[in-house]
Amino acid sequence: MWEILGIDATTDIEQIFEAYASKVAENGESDALTKAYEDALVYAKAHPIPDLTISCKSCP
């Protein structure tokens, strides 16, 4: 799917959409491209980026 979209594996939904839109603009919409886009979204949603916010309940 990543090869079809022309990007490396990512969980960045915005990057996935931009890649999809770019490919549609270049080549038109196709079943394979739409499937790759949908599969990439499923991948991104299944691999959320961990929250890197540090919580300190005992900090002054």
Cβ contacts of 37 within 8 Å, gap of 6 or more: 5, 16, 17, 20
pLDDT in tens, 21-42: 999 999 999 999 999 999 999 9
Is pLDDT above 70 for 54? no
Dihedral sign, CA of 11, 12, 14, 17? negative
Give yes or no for residue 2 having a pLDDT over 80. yes
Domain parsing of the chain, residue ranges: 2-46
Tell me, what's the pLDDT at 19?
98
Quick one: pLDDT at residue 29? 93
